[in-house]
Amino acid sequence: MKLPAQPLQGSRIRLEHLDQSHAQGLFNRGREADDWRYMPRACFVDLADTRHWVDEAMAQADQYPFAIVEVAKGKVVGSTRYLNIRPEHASLEIGWTWLGQDWQGTGVNTEAKYLLLSHAFEVMGCRRVEFKADARNLRSQRALEGIGATREGVLRQHMIVQGDFSRDSVYFSVLDNEWPDVGRRLQQKLQATAR
C-alpha cells in the first residue's frame, strides 16, 4: 500500500503530511471545546499541548496524519488521518477529522474525504475503507450516510474518551466496488458547494 509521497491536492484544500510546521495553525483553529466534543481528547489548551499532539500523531506506526491546508490562503484549517492501516487486508480507516469552525459546512470536509478515498482506492489498492463515529454524534453519522458509506453496526463501550466516558462507536465502510458511486456522489456535493 503506497502512502502519499506528496500532498493530496484538491481545488480548495491540500492534505499535507502532518509535522511540527503545522502546530501553530492547528492551535489557532483547535481551541474550541465544542468542536472536540466527540473526539477521544479535548481541544488544545496551548501551543505545547498542540505540539505534543502532533508528535503523538506522527509516532503512530499504523497511522498517517494530515494537516488540512486551505489552498487560497495557505492556512492550516484542521486535520485528518489514515489510521488502522492494514496492508495485509488492503484496508484502512479514515478518522480523527476535525476542522476549525469557519471551515465547517463549507465543503472542505467533503473534499478531504474525496481526496483520501480516491488515494486509498485508486493508488493504495484498498478493498475496504472504514469510518467510526461516536454514537452521540448524529451529524457525523448523517454525513457518512450522505456520501454513501454503509452503516455496519455498533461496537458498545468501544472506547473510553473524554471525561472517562464509555463511548459506543458506529462503524461505516466503503468497499472498492462501491467507490465509483461514492466518488460520483462526492463530486456532485463538491460541485454544489462550489456555486
pLDDT in single tens digits along all 195 residues of the chain: 789 989 999 999 999 999 999 999 999 999 999 999 999 999 999 999 999 999 999 999 999 999 999 999 999 999 999 999 999 999 999 999 999 999 998 999 999 999 999 999 999 999 999 999 999 999 999 999 998 999 999 999 999 999 899 999 999 999 999 999 999 999 999 998 876
Residue 149 is given by DSSP the state P
Give pLDDT, residue 195: 60
Give pLDDT, residue 163: 87
Give, rounded to a whole angstrom, the gap between the first and last alpha carbons of the chain: 36
**How would you label 141-162 residue by residue, b for 16+ Cβ within 10 Å and e otherwise?**
bebbeebbbeeeeeeeebeebe
Residues 6+ apart with CB under 8 A from 54: 18, 19, 20, 22, 23, 26, 65
97 neighbors 141 (Cβ within 8 angstroms): no
Q: Which fold has domain 8-194?
A: Aminopeptidase (3.40.630)
